[in-house]
Chain A
Amino acid sequence: MLEIKNLHANAGDEPILRGIDLEIAAGEVHAVMGPNGSGKSTLSNILAGRPGYSVTHGEVLYAGQDLTQLEPEERAREGIFLAFQYPVEIPGVSNNYFLKASVNAVRAHRGEPELDAMEFLALSQEKMKAVDMPADLMNRSINEGFSGGEKKRNEVLQMLLLEPQLSILDETDSGLDIDALRVVAQGVNSLRSPDRAMLVITHYQRLLDYIVPDRVHVLSAGRIVRSGGKDLALELEEKGYGWIEEASA
């Protein structure tokens, strides 16, 4: 589903990613771990098409097509979803209005009829239950005044509503208590299916107790320095990132 070949990329004018190779097949969940500043968010931003991040070398193919040619909204319509590490607060725009516009943009792209207010209400209520989100958050402005946990739940809610083919979660677990972590993991797991793939970025092993990955990659200074099965995460937890950095130096 996703093929990243020798990817070099800049954040602003800074070279951050220095040759990443990563293949994720449909049905798989991959975890990317790594110390702060290693380039995890840069990778997810490149995949989502955030302005200010550019590919300088290499390829990113999604379902066989060159992802870098697509605008962010086209990527989203094609089934790519990024759960933001820092969700943006947007005053004056109700969460409900936003999510309905988003769902309908994807539906229109798929040639499905748009949902009316009642249909969307039913759908959103069902998904909100799944992430244990209080009803009033729908009528509030997007993420404005939301707690850290509420923002992350809101990201997962959006993921459940859009049912993406490829979900990228950028440290969705950071700053969450154990209950919130479970809710997030349940949401992710409920989407797992043979035709979807996921890239779960995390700083801690903890999340991977709940979302069990098929592969784990360790990112350091813009390179994948180690890949392995789910046990790699445990080893990393035990020995710390210093171990990897030393090993790869």
Chain B
Amino acid sequence: MTSAEKRSISAWLEASARIVDVGDEAPFLREARSQALATLSGQSLPTRRLESWKYTSLNEIAKIEWAAPRGPLQKNQELPATPLSRQAGLRAGLIDGRFVTEPETPKYQGARLVSLSETRTGELAPSGCLDVLGQVADLKRHFFTALNTALLDDGACLEIEPNAQIAEPIHLSIVDSKSQTLSCPRLALKAGAGSRATLVIEHLTFGDGPRLAAFVSEIIVEPQAELDLILVQREESESFLASNLYARLEQHGRLRVHTLTLGGRLVRNEVVSELAGQGAEVDLRGLFIGSEDRHIDHQTTIDHAVSHCTSRELYKGVLGDSSRGVFCGRIIVRPDAQKTDSQQSNPNLLLGEKAEIDTQPQLEIYADDVRCSHGSTIGRLDPEALFYLQSRAIGPESARAILTRGFAQEIVETVPKAVGHPQLESLIAGALEAATAQAFGEGP
């Protein structure tokens, strides 16, 4: 089959069932793919009849015919530079799923960022990534993870060496460059014991036309390692993104994920983290900003498998126009997970008359000595705060803009400084402007 061939997703599924391996695959990859193919056989795109897709319709995706870019990478692909990537030390990209690096990658102390296809031919063989790939993701539960795995032939492997302390952010751009194209970017990441690092994953699209990215990341945070992930989702307005992130945290491992959803037509985020070692801490923070009729869906699962783990979760939504948000926060506390300390909160700001949010916690607690709290709010701007600013000579339009930025700022504050706060703030300001243009356009 050629890379230009376009099919509906269901036709892709049928075709992929017939894809036999391309020959040079390492056995582990062949196995992962054949499992994914088996899982997908007879399946189609999830529909709203499924509980986990109740609020999100994939009809638009089903209607489009997609090309899936396989085969060799085009020559001279360049990594796009962005304000965020300029803050990075080590960087690479997945362009239409294909690993691209800078022409001359300097040797980097403490971290290796290489192509999955290199891994697979065994040339560099960062063994760490082989422990991760296919080991953390849940093929059975998540359609787009199965799809990604079935079509997998490249990706990024990031290995942070044990005890490496990397202050500069590492940057991975995920670029969808072609219209009407399905890409399956993949990341395997191992944060070695006692290491400390920050990875920025920035989603971009270039040009017009719909794109569909089924992005899967798998992460293992080894004992005492500390990892910061910043997902910056800022695709163009015709893009579809399913981002499925799976993390396993070992003893005293710490993971903080900031998911900033600033663009895209439909974005579905699955974040699944398993607290598998005592003393592990996960902190999930999200900011999602909707304008026009964009749709942003967050599904998170925090699985407290053992005792003495901590989880924090704060997702903030700003929804303008007729945009729609979904937040479903599942927290599982297994029978052994005594002394669990878990907090979840999802405050939302509805700015558009027709904007909507569906928010629900889902607590499954099977241990008794635990502290779990959760809460969500849906509101408009605080009239007291608005009056306070106005009483200080600030006009209502500016006052609303200031308060909305203030609402979002809480999420930015915890991003490591080295990522570039001014850069992030300006991206967020752009998204907020779009979300508030109509709502605040005419002041009273």
Contact yes or no, A98 B389, CB < 8 A: yes
Would you call A137 an interface residue if the criterion is a C-beta within 8 Å of the partner chain's C-beta atoms? no
Contact yes or no, B390 A72, CB < 8 A: yes
Contact yes or no, B393 A105, CB < 8 A: yes
Whole-angstrom distance between the Cβ of A111 and the nearest chain B Cβ: 14
Contact yes or no, B388 A102, CB < 8 A: no
B381-399 CB mask vs A (1 if < 8 Å, else 0) is 0111101111111111011
In chain A between 102 and 144, which residues have their CB closer than 8 angstroms to a CB of chain B? 102, 105-106, 109, 141-142
Whole-angstrom distance between the Cβ of B299 and the nearest chain A Cβ: 26
Contact A102/B405 with A72-B387, A84-B388, A90-B385 known, Cβ cut-off 8 Å: no
20 A-B pairs with C-beta separation under 8 A? A49-B390, A71-B396, A76-B390, A76-B391, A76-B392, A81-B391, A84-B391, A87-B388, A90-B406, A91-B410, A92-B406, A92-B408, A93-B402, A93-B409, A101-B402, A102-B389, A105-B392, A105-B398, A158-B392, A162-B392
- Chain B residues closer than 8 Å to A71, beta-carbon distance: 390, 396, 444
Contact yes or no, A48 B391, CB < 8 A: yes
B194-221 CB mask vs A (1 if < 8 Å, else 0) is 0000000000000000000000000000
- Chain A residues closer than 8 Å to B409, beta-carbon distance: 91-93
Given contacts A76-B391, A101-B394, A102-B393, 5 further A-B contacts (CB under 8 A): A50-B391, A81-B391, A93-B406, A98-B392, A162-B393
In chain A between 81 and 103, which residues have their CB closer than 8 angstroms to a CB of chain B? 81-82, 84, 87-88, 90-93, 97-98, 101-102
- Chain B residues closer than 8 Å to A81, beta-carbon distance: 391
- Chain B residues closer than 8 Å to A75, beta-carbon distance: 391
B367-388 CB mask vs A (1 if < 8 Å, else 0) is 0000000000000001111011
Contact yes or no, A93 B403, CB < 8 A: yes
Would you call B55 an interface residue if the criterion is a C-beta within 8 Å of the partner chain's C-beta atoms? no
- Chain A residues closer than 8 Å to B392, beta-carbon distance: 73, 76, 98, 102, 105, 158, 162
A71 to B397 Cα, complex, angstroms: 13
A158 to B402 Cα, complex, angstroms: 18
- Chain A residues closer than 8 Å to B408, beta-carbon distance: 92
Contact A51/B387 with A90-B406, A93-B403 known, Cβ cut-off 8 Å: yes
- Chain B residues closer than 8 Å to A88, beta-carbon distance: 382, 384-385, 387-388
A75 to B390 Cα, complex, angstroms: 9
Contact yes or no, B391 A105, CB < 8 A: no
Of B390, B395, B403, B444, which one neighbours A90 at CB under 8 angstroms? Answer: B403
Contact yes or no, B383 A105, CB < 8 A: no
Would you call A77 an interface residue if the criterion is a C-beta within 8 Å of the partner chain's C-beta atoms? yes
Contact yes or no, A51 B383, CB < 8 A: yes
Contact yes or no, B405 A92, CB < 8 A: yes
B57-76 CB mask vs A (1 if < 8 Å, else 0) is 00000000000000000000
A92 to B432 Cα, complex, angstroms: 15
Of B383, B396, B403, B410, which one neighbours A73 at CB under 8 angstroms? Answer: B396
A106 to B391 Cα, complex, angstroms: 11
Whole-angstrom distance between the Cβ of B395 and the nearest chain A Cβ: 5
- Chain B residues closer than 8 Å to A158, beta-carbon distance: 392
Shortest Cβ distance from B395 into A: residue: A73
Contact yes or no, B388 A141, CB < 8 A: no
A141-179 CB mask vs B (1 if < 8 Å, else 0) is 110000000000000001000100000000000000000
Contact yes or no, B395 A105, CB < 8 A: yes
B401-437 CB mask vs A (1 if < 8 Å, else 0) is 0110111111001000000000000000000000000
Q: Interface centre among A73, A76, A88, A158, by most B CB within 10 Å?
A: A73
Q: Interface centre among A75, A90, A97, A158, by most B CB within 10 Å?
A: A90
Shortest Cβ-Cβ A-B pairs, 9 listed: A92-B406, A92-B409, A93-B406, A76-B393, A105-B393, A102-B392, A72-B390, A88-B388, A73-B390
- Chain B residues closer than 8 Å to A98, beta-carbon distance: 389, 392, 394, 402
- Chain B residues closer than 8 Å to A106, beta-carbon distance: 393
Contact yes or no, A72 B391, CB < 8 A: yes
Shortest Cβ distance from A93 into B: residue: B406
A72 to B389 Cα, complex, angstroms: 9
Contact A102/B387 with A92-B408, A93-B402, A93-B403 known, Cβ cut-off 8 Å: no
